Amino acid sequence: MECATAPPTAFFLDNTYRSSFDFGKESRDTYSFGAEGGELNYYFLYGPDPKRVLSDFSALTGRTPLPPLSSLGYQQCRYSYYPEARVREIANEFRKRKIPRTLSISTSTTSKRIAPLRLIGSDSLISSRW
């Protein structure tokens, strides 16, 4: 049994009402779609390849902006760095090995109290409480 290959295609129904789609269930040769209300705005996106279909779809619906560069960096986290000199030593080791990082976090707990959260920035420590 051979299967015919069709170019990549997408269908987008732009409607906020409850919608229905029937792609061959009621009748093998019939496809149908609709909505309980609102306008019937629909789009067929035709290949010739999946990349083009996705590009056309994102042009229609909006493209997601890239995240801020700072969110793509390495984030080092550990239960506890103590004392502060150890924190600086680790930060210096990252610099020495040229390991890029955005953020380093250190937390520790004693009994039911949460100790200060230490964020290791470029050359200084920032301390804040939760």
Q: What is the pLDDT of residue 19?
A: 94
Q: What is the pLDDT of residue 6?
A: 83
Q: What is the pLDDT of residue 130?
A: 26
Show Cβ contacts of residue 2 under 8 Å, excluding neighbours closer than 6 positions: none
Q: What does the pLDDT average to over 12-19? A: 94
* The dihedral formed by the CA atoms of 23, 26, 29 and 33, expressed in degrees to the nearest 10: -40
Note the pLDDT tens digit of each residue in 63-110: 988 887 667 766 677 666 677 788 788 888 888 988 776 555 655 544
The whole-chain average pLDDT of the chain stands at: 76
CB 55: neighbour CB atoms within 10 A? 13
Q: Shortest CA distance to 10 belongs to which of 39, 41, 52, 40?
A: 52
